[in-house]
Structure 1
Amino acid sequence: MLAVFQSTIGNLPKELSLPCVGRNNCLNCSPQEIAETFRSWRSDATFYNLSNGNFLALSHELENPVQPRSIVVIDEISCLFCGSLFNTCDLRRHYGLSRQATEAVVIVEAYKVLRDRAPYPADQVVKQLHGSFAFILFDSKDSTLFLARDGDGRMQFHWGTASDGSLVCTDDPNLISVACGNCYSPFPPGCIFINKSGLMSFDHPLHKVVGIPQVDHNGNINAVFFQVDLFTRLPSIPRTGSATNWAGAAVFEGQ
């Protein structure tokens, strides 16, 4: 799977671009070049164009049959899902869905409930997902981007920046390397990213997720890895309503 979003989507961790700072040999591509590379590598690729030049792409080539890729578009909400959930049946009942609802449909419904009605933060919703997964959700109505990866990191998921600063997300480690040069990192396991609030851990919501640069023997930054800072505790701020809970999903309460 592949997704590219313009830099105006907002709130990207600055560390994603650190390896390219001050370097003349950064080989990251433009969004158009990334799309063409994906087409050339995946003959069955299907593209889904979103607002403002953003797009999603899906291919089933080299797909693990026990960790399939899927996409749904419901009420202007698009969701790319890779992997499998062990508790899909329970989640279908919880959200009042039919037996035919796929994991991607479950994610969309969970997002809609969280956005519109839920009295609890985003980390609690994602904690209900048990399995091996990564997903990319985009709500075109208000340009909300929502990314997540399972806590054990069993599903491949990477993110980085294109030559124009666009965000690139994919489960293909070879594609992210070609697309982003050195300006990419594995998406941290057990974490979610919401562009209106930033990157957070759903396993440790009271602790900040920080980018750690990896420096070579010449002092050059050649990679960045994100991890939870368990030594720094974030302040807890009282919630004031469901709308605030979503827009401020990085308001971390221990529950």
Structure 2
Amino acid sequence: MNLADWGAIGNIILGIASVFTAIVTARMLSKQHELQKEQHRLDQEKLNAQQLEHQPSFQFTRTDDKLIISNQGSVLSTPIKSTIYSMVIVQTEKSEHMAEYKQCIYCHPVRYYERFGLSTLNLNGELDVYKFKVEDRKQLLEKVKEIYMGILHWKFLTPHDPIVSVQSVMLTDLIKIEYVDMYHKSHVIYYKDSQIITKDRFEQLVEISRRVPFGIYDVENVIPDNIIRQVYATNFELTA
């Protein structure tokens, strides 16, 4: 074997070594990339957890003539935007042919707050104030009692009443709050009175309230007998 042959063999060996080195390098770079991705994910999770610790804490205080939304948590970047949907919510259990039971809900919109809340433009403490007439809320609460007692009265008069039980009749506020936190991130949060609910639940309740025949829903136009009839006539179920 002459020198040219040994040179060719040497080139082949060098080529194989180069390919092997390239494969090892590629694997190392890929592993390093995966480690970097995992570290980035862990860092992001840690950052998100830290940011969640510095969020506002919204509180709802009702006085004789106003509902006050305040923030007792971390300061905001901008004033909040709040929206309120007030309604009488009736929850019942119904049975069809005494075989299948289902939870039904009826949401009747009402309007007793002033059309727009008063924003304080604060980033902490009192944020929004919604005023109402003391007598209006009293009337609505009395009508809520009438609705509850009226359904029970109808049950006694109807031998085969589809309503098995009345679980609750309540004057309720659905509240949507849009805010920007101290890290300048936008959020939307939903409440049923002072309890946080999901966006899907919030939207479903609002949608049910919008299926009520078009009308004026001021206090004097909230008629208990009409609401009772609608409770019997509809079978809306919560799916969210």
Q: TM-score, normalised by structure 2?
A: 0.24
More helix by share: 2
Q: TM-score, normalised by structure 1?
A: 0.23
